[in-house]
């Protein structure tokens, strides 16, 4: 199954809560939602008001940690799966999308009912590889994200890693250490979501594909997250052909946790660094090319729109993919009908001054192919390597139907002869025709 979703609250959503986001995503025909853990505030306070309660039952806030005195009087974390004692200190998280664990659970249950797959993106600014205060703060953000994600039954928590500190090798070793520690404390075997480490789009930030892969090999519970725009930027525009997408997807498939989780948007980049994310119609990273590969994809994949247009581009990507699948099915039906040959009908523009009446078409066809007859107002010719070439005028355009046999030994020569015929009839060579067709598609 291929799921399409968005990173954040739908732009068209009137509500701003987690529950409303799930409802609106479903209403837009989407089946994935990446919840953004932004605008959070965490405070410590004495736990007297909550004595005897479980954190999940507190209505005023989201308790993310309980601190309790040990025998020496030092406050130590005891987690959130125990009843609160009056002498404890609690760490409360206040989040604009949900007030408490009850609302988080409600949104998670609704998502399951509506078949909207949930994930959470931890705060975007991370500096996990630093050895100071920022590293500890970033670590806490991931912990809080994991707790909330478990409450809503989300499958994964997505995070960036942060800036390089020291050499790239030293940064990789530090990343392995940090994520090993997080995984031990919040392991999927204990009911916590997977931690997805996202690829980077900037040279100064940890997260090139080889680094993410090396991290996943060392920390098996980590899931590499494929952000196509980031990979494309860091590679200086590396995802152009179908094979480019195929290769990078194959790399990430080895470490996926069920479905392959990806993010897509347009992107502007300079050199080997991302400048900004854009709508998917902009730039040289083309979803049309990816959809050509996905039209034959057999496994589960989730594609999250991180475009500024969010749901508009998520819906548009779905349309593009459906077109690619329909085109592939059409070709299969054509081959089924004609056996080993393939029938195609095309429309070609004709340069001003070129005549495409039957007499003119027949004369040119005989000149190029040494064959040609008129039947039912169409000119029919024979080219070695092609079963049939049939051309006729339709308005200002030239229509052409070919029946080809790609197993023919002289197929390449047949295509050259065919292009010669179309160029002499229309006035446009193959390169010019492709350029005109590209302009029409963009319109």
What residues does CATH 3.30.310.190 cover in the chain? 340-442
Architecture (CATH level 2) of domain 2-39+96-331: Alpha-Beta Barrel (3.20)
CB of 398 closer than 8 Å to CB of 350? yes
- CA nearest to 289, candidates 246, 326, 248: 246
Q: What is the pLDDT of residue 288?
A: 95
For residue 223, the model assigns a pLDDT of 97
The pLDDT score that the predictor gives to residue 194 is 96
Please list the pLDDT of the chain residue by residue as tens digits (443 residues).
999 999 999 999 988 899 999 999 999 999 999 999 987 889 999 999 999 999 999 999 999 999 999 988 899 999 898 999 999 999 999 999 999 999 999 999 999 999 999 999 999 889 999 888 889 999 999 999 999 999 999 999 999 999 999 999 999 999 999 999 999 999 998 889 999 999 999 999 999 999 999 999 999 999 999 999 999 999 999 999 999 999 999 999 999 999 999 999 999 999 999 999 999 999 999 999 999 999 989 899 999 999 999 999 999 999 999 988 887 776 665 555 545 556 778 888 999 899 999 999 999 999 999 999 999 889 999 888 887 899 999 888 999 998 876 667 777 788 889 999 999 999 999 888 877 776 655 54
Cα–Cα distance for residue pair 137/41, rounded to 1 Å: 12
- Specify the CATH number of the domain 340-442: 3.30.310.190
Rounded to the nearest 5 degrees, what angle is found at the Cα of 166, between the Cα atoms of 272 and 275? 25
**pTM of the predicted model, to two decimals?**
0.75
Torsion angles phi and psi, residue 17, rounded to 5: -95, 170
Q: Where in the chain is the domain with CATH 3.20.20.150?
A: 2-39+96-331
């Amino acid at each position: 199954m291929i799921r399409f979703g968005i990173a954040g609250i739908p732009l068209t959503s009137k509500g701003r809560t987690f529950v409303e986001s799930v409802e609106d995503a479903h209403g837009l025909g989407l089946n994935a939602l990446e919840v953004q853990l932004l605008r959070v505030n965490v405070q410590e306070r004495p736990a007297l008001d909550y004595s005897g309660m479980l954190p999940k039952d507190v209505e005023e806030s989201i308790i993310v940690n309980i601190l309790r005195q040990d025998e020496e009087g030092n406050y130590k974390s005891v987690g959130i799966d125990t009843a609160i004692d009056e002498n404890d200190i609690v760490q409360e998280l206040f989040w604009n999308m949900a007030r408490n664990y009850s609302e988080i659970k409600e949104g998670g249950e609704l998502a399951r009912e509506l078949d909207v797959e949930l994930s959470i993106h931890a705060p975007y600014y991370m500096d996990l590889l630093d050895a100071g205060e920022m590293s500890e703060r970033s670590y806490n953000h991931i912990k809080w994200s994991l707790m909330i994600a478990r409450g809503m039954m989300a499958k994964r928590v997505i995070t960036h890693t942060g800036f390089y500190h020291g050499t790239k090798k030293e940064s990789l070793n530090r990343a392995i250490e940090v994520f090993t520690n997080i995984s031990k404390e919040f392991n999927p075997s204990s009911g916590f979501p997977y931690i997805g480490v996202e690829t980077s789009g900037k040279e100064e930030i940890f997260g090139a594909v080889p680094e993410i892969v090396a991290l996943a090999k060392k920390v098996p519970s980590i899931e590499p997250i494929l952000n196509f725009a980031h990979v494309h930027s860091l590679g200086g525009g590396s995802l152009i052909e179908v094979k480019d997408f195929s290769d990078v997807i194959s790399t990430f498939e080895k470490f996926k946790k069920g479905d392959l989780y990806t993010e897509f948007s347009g992107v502007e980049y300079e050199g080997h660094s991302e400048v900004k994310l854009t709508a998917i119609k902009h730039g040289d990273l083309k979803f049309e090319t990816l959809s050509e590969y996905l039209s034959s994809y057999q496994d589960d994949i989730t594609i999250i729109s991180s475009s500024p247009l969010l749901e508009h581009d998520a819906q548009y990507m779905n349309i593009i993919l459906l077109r690619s699948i329909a085109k592939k099915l059409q070709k299969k039906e054509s081959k089924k009908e004609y056996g080993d040959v393939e029938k195609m009908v095309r429309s070609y523009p004709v340069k001003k001054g070129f005549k495409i009446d039957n007499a003119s078409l027949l004369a040119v066809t005989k000149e190029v192919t040494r064959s040609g007859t008129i039947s039912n107002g169409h000119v029919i010719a024979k080219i070695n390597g092609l079963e049939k070439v049939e051309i006729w005028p339709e308005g200002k355009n030239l229509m052409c139907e070919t029946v080809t046999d790609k197993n023919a030994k002289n197929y390449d020569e047949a295509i050259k002869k065919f292009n010669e015929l179309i160029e002499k009839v229309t006035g446009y060579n193959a390169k010019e025709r492709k350029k005109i067709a590209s302009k029409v598609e963009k319109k």
